[in-house]
Amino acid sequence: MSASPVTLMVARRIASGRYHDFNRWLNEGRELAADFPGYLGSGVLAPPEHHDEYQIIFRFSSSETLHAWEHSASRHAWLVRGRGLYDAPHEHRATGLDAWFQTGSGSVPPRWKQAVAVWLAFFPISLLFQWVFGGMLADWALIPRVLVSTLILTPVMVFVFIPLSTRLLSPWLQGKWSPMDRWIHLRRINRT
């Protein structure tokens, strides 16, 4: 068992015509998980346009705390209530930083690519934070200023910007696209 945080990524395709029921059920499950010891957070990555597979992410402090939630009676009852709302579920577990970068084949991009993806997520949100709150925190001592900024930015990074960055950069991270290919692809999307 692992003492490192563990991420459970669940892919589920919404059954036809069940979008609103699925979202209600999913929110119920996220609230349920939040009541368990070791829960660090959860998030949902919506599918790209014209796709229906949602990526649901649950993060726990250790394999043991994830195991306790996964094998609980309340989670089992929640899964039973969700029958018929989704098709083709599959799950994947990952620990540490590699959790954000591991592909379905189990391969992980080189650390330098991971660093670029994290930096591309971190830079804009840090810049925005400093622009919005920098003036208010300017007179604070260094330790409280850094404490407040990291308390605010870390969850935003973990649940929004790193998943977004890895999703946008996934072809490049997997070695399928060069950065120029990705830029051209994004420009085409923005024109349509």
Per-residue H/E/C for the chain: CCCCCEEEEEEEEECCCCHHHHHHHHHHHHHHHHCCCCEEEEEEECCCCCCCEEEEEEEECCHHHHHHHHCCHHHHHHHHHCCCCEEEEEEEEEECHHHHCCCCCCCCCCHHHHHHHHHHHHHHHHHHHHHHHHHHHCCCCHHHHHHHHHHHHHHHHHHHHHHHHHHHCHHHHCCCCCHHHHHHHHHHHHHC
The domain over range 6-95 is classified in CATH as 3.30.70.100: yes
Positions of CATH 3.30.70.100 in the chain: 6-95
Q: Please report the pLDDT score of residue 141 as a whole number.
A: 87
Per-residue pLDDT of the chain (192 residues; tens, 9 = 90+): 446 778 887 878 888 888 889 889 988 988 999 999 989 888 777 776 677 778 788 888 888 898 899 899 999 999 899 888 887 666 655 555 555 565 554 566 777 887 888 888 888 888 888 899 888 888 988 888 888 888 888 878 877 788 788 878 877 777 765 555 556 655 655 555
Q: Please report the pLDDT score of residue 2 as a whole number.
A: 47
Cα angle 169-122-127, degrees, rounded to a multiple of 5 = 125
How many other β-carbons are positioned within 10 Å of the β-carbon of residue 165? 21
